[in-house]
């Protein structure tokens, strides 16, 4: 098995979410796949289980941005100043069979390691707050949420990446597991860090993930996905029916 590092792409919110899901469902190889992507316009995403009306009440008033429900769980994520990535673990890898808390911890340990190599004071939160009795995000574990679905980066949860000295939250993520594999959607909040070379960080993050997964990392071209399926799923994710699903 290999870790395939996909080219960076920029899209609108619905397209980014559609591609993440199709990279879980339709990738033509039993490989771990990793990608960083950008946002064509200001965007917020929110967890699959959140109520759209509650989400809208907690968004900045009077501003224009894309809004999309994610295929994973968790809370509201502001993508206007973040570094966004996606990781898919195929069911053939041991991480697919393990507990959600363990895969969450391992990925964030790799992320924090890559940040520390660039001089950032990043670490993984190892203790749950006394007032928090449940794992973040319930069954669909997420660092995008508080114990109840909330707004990302307001408070760090167990195994989130935080600033070593201030405790400020740096990175969180959400997971979705099905028979094809484990989809991991993550976000790093850039304002919580010192100035960073993000291209170098992305390369080091991929290497750290590959070492933790005990597989080689390999840059690959964009996979040959069915364009009709991509456009159809993008339209679905952009539709009011999907946004207002709950």
* pLDDT tens for the 246 residues of the chain, in order: 999 999 999 999 999 999 999 999 999 889 999 999 999 999 999 999 999 999 999 999 988 999 999 999 988 999 999 999 999 999 999 889 888 889 999 999 999 999 999 999 999 998 877 654 444 433 333 444 333 445 555 677 899 999 999 999 999 999 999 999 999 999 999 999 999 999 999 999 999 999 999 999 999 999 999 999 999 999 999 999 999 988
Q: Which distant-in-sequence residues (6+ apart) come within 8 Å of 99 by Cβ?
A: none
Distances (CA, A) of 91 to 30, 50, 101, 140, 209: 8, 27, 17, 17, 17
Residues 6 or more apart whose CB falls under 8 angstroms from that of 170 comprise 115, 122, 160, 161, 162, 163, 188, 189, 192, 193
> Which residues lie closer than 8 Å to 201 by C-beta, 6 or more apart?
83, 114, 115, 118
Kindly list the distances between the CA atom of residue 106 and the CA atoms of 21, 65, 95, 102, 158, in Å, as whole numbers in the listed order: 22, 33, 9, 6, 12
Other Cβ atoms within 10 Å of 94 Cβ, number: 11
pTM: 0.89
Q: Report the pLDDT value the prediction gives residue 131, as an integer from 0 to 100.
A: 54
> For the chain, what are the domain ranges?
3-243
| Cα distances (Å, whole numbers) of residue 1 to 86, 89, 93 | 18, 11, 8
For the CA atoms of 58, 79, 13, 200, what is the dihedral angle to 10 degrees?
-170
Domain 3-243 has CATH 3.90.180.10: no
Give the pLDDT of residue 140. 38
């Amino acid at each position: 098995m290999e870790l395939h590092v996909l080219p960076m792409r920029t899209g609108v919110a619905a397209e980014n979410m559609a591609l993440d899901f199709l990279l879980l469902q339709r990738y033509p190889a039993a490989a771990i796949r990793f990608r960083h992507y950008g946002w064509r316009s200001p965007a917020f995403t929110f967890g699959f289980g959140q109520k759209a009306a509650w989400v809208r009440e907690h968004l900045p008033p009077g501003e224009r941005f894309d809004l999309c429900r994610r295929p994973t769980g968790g809370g509201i994520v502001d993508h206007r100043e973040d570094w966004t990535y996606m990781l898919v673990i195929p069911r053939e890898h041991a991480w697919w069979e393990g507990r959600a808390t363990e895969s969450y911890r391992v990925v964030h340990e790799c992320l924090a390691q890559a940040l520390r190599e660039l001089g950032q004071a990043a670490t993984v939160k190892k203790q749950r707050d006394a007032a928090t009795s449940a794992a973040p995000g319930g069954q669909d574990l997420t660092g995008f949420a508080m114990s109840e679905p909330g707004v990302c980066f307001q408070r760090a949860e167990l195994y989130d990446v935080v600033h070593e000295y201030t405790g400020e939250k740096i990175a969180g993520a959400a997971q979705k597991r099905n028979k094809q594999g484990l989809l991991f959607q993550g976000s790093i909040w850039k304002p919580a860090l010192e100035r960073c070379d993000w291209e170098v960080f992305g390369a080091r993050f991929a290497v750290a993930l590959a070492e933790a997964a005990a597989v080689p990392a390999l840059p690959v071209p964009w996979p040959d996905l069915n364009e009709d399926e991509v456009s159809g799923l993008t339209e679905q994710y952009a539709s009011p029916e999907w946004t207002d699903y709950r």
